[in-house]
Amino acid sequence: MTALFFSDESLHSATASTLSLLPPDDPLRATLHNEVHARPSARVRLPAMVIYVAVLNAGVTREQECAHLRLLPGQADLPLDSLQSSFLRLRFEGYSIKWERHTEFTRYSVLQDLPDEVVLGTPEPDLLKNLAVTPEWLRNLPGRTVAAIQLAMVHGDLNDLPAVITDAQAWFGPSTLIASQLGNAPNKTTGHSVAITDFRIRSDGFERILVIAPTHTSKPRAGRIAQRLLELETYRLMALRGLPVAKQLGAMLSESEESLALITARLESKSALDQELLDTLVSLAAGIERATAEHSYRFAATRAYDTLVGQRSKELRERPIPGTQTMDEFMQRRLSPAMATVAATAQRLTSLSERVARTSALLRTRVDIATEIQNQQLLEKLTRGQDMQLRLQTTVEGLSIAAISYYVISLLLYAGKALKAAGLPVNPEMAAGALVPVVLWGVWRTTRRIHAKLHTNP
């Protein structure tokens, strides 16, 4: 079989040639493609120790985190652009430091060799005694601690699990151990490693996890084990941040539900004014919307973190060790009820908002019906008023015809008197009396024509 090797130049040329055959790249193509390579796990050579701290980064900028990383040896000129990808690994002599920034927290991992005097079975060893970084650097990490773990990874024989648990008990002291085999490869009686912890925060502020693996464990596998265990605990703690919020909202939701029930009852019995009910309902809706705006992100984040906990637990492929609980069993004993409480509270808040919306619609319908009745009554009053006005107008028009006719006849009477005075044989009174019907008809006819013209050209 012939092996083919390509130089960097030929590979670059081939890549360029291939790209020239394609349409222009979408601006996000490279970023989205390289996302699969983001945040790679470290290559860990056993025995090793990881000092891990996750801090909440609310109000902490990348500039502040970069300034803190510059305090490390030889990093005074660390460019800020190196933190734009939210992942950075710094290598030093004998240890390395990994920085990762997430949406709500930032993780710092110090990977170094396990001290020679610390072996499996050592009674409660002091893992911080030979810390590669200074205590001041660790203490002054920008942010507030949400998780701190001392992860030790050592070699051990997994064929005698009771002896392994006995040695680990000395490591943790009198605490109750939670342990499980990791990996469930077929045709194997044991997993590829054992993870042990007690899920307790010690006096130094750290939790402690111990991983025991055979001497043939590869560096990439050890790195993946470490990453999954650290992420599992971090995501568990971040998921639980929704529980205090849910408990805090419980009293408010109960009070709001009672208020809504009272409003609905008063709406049904029509025992209160619409304006009074509307004011109360608007105040209740505003409180619910404020709570939704303040806590909807926390509930959504809790669901996301809980999903990640399940994924990391599944990736560990735990197998039970007789006499101990697995990590997943121990966590789910409290995590599952907490997540159920958060989910129920979120659903309760959503349901209450929907019920308020339906009650508002009912009240709005009642107000609309009342408004329509008032408008109908007003229209009837206006109609009656128009009828009265029409009758009055008709009466006035009749009087106007009489008045106009009177003035016309008076003018005709004066004209007849003038003709009589001029010597003509005219009886003014007889002539005026005879013209009265004609004048009345003429005035009436003229008025009707004016009305017809107005109706024709409104």
- Nearest Cα to Cα of residue 182 among 208, 207, 161, 206: 161
- Residue 240, both tokens: 């639980």
**Domain 242-377 listed as CATH 3.40.190:** no
Q: Which of 76-80, 161-165, 439-443 has the highest mean pLDDT?
A: 76-80
Give pLDDT, residue 140: 94
Least confident of 150-164, 348-362, 388-402: 388-402
Structure confidence by residue, pLDDT tens digits, 38-59: 667 778 888 999 999 999 999 9
Structure confidence by residue, pLDDT tens digits, 339-374: 999 999 998 888 888 888 877 777 676 666 667 777
* pLDDT, average across residues 191-215: 91
Give pLDDT, residue 14: 42
Give pLDDT, residue 403: 78
Give pLDDT, residue 15: 43
Report the amino acid identity of residue 198.
Answer: D
pLDDT > 70 fraction of the chain, expressed in percent and rounded: 86
The yes-or-no verdict on residue 287 having pLDDT over 70 is: yes
pLDDT, greater one: 274 or 143: 143
Find out whether 412 and 432 touch, Cβ atoms under 8 Å.
yes
Structure confidence by residue, pLDDT tens digits, 434-446: 877 887 788 777 8
* pLDDT, average across residues 138-164: 91
Find out whether 316 and 229 touch, Cβ atoms under 8 Å.
yes
Q: Rounded mean pLDDT of the chain?
A: 83
pLDDT, greater one: 147 or 276: 147
The yes-or-no verdict on residue 10 having pLDDT over 60 is: no
pLDDT, greater one: 126 or 398: 126
Cα→Cα distances 121→1, 154, 212, 377, 420, Å? 51, 11, 11, 93, 152
Find out whether 132 and 180 touch, Cβ atoms under 8 Å.
no
Give pLDDT, residue 101: 93
* pLDDT, average across residues 228-240: 93
pLDDT > 90 fraction of the chain, expressed in percent and rounded: 33
pLDDT, greater one: 396 or 436: 436
Least confident of 88-97, 241-250, 358-367: 358-367
Map out the domains of the chain as residue ranges: 38-218, 242-377, 381-456
Give pLDDT, residue 9: 44
- Nearest Cα to Cα of residue 180 among 11, 295, 296, 324: 324
pLDDT, greater one: 262 or 199: 199
* pLDDT, average across residues 82-96: 90
Query: For the residues of 90-102, what is the DSSP string, one character each?
Result: EEETTEEEEEEE-
* pLDDT, average across residues 145-160: 91
The yes-or-no verdict on residue 82 having pLDDT over 50 is: yes
Helices 242-269, 327-421: axis angle to 10 degrees equals: 40
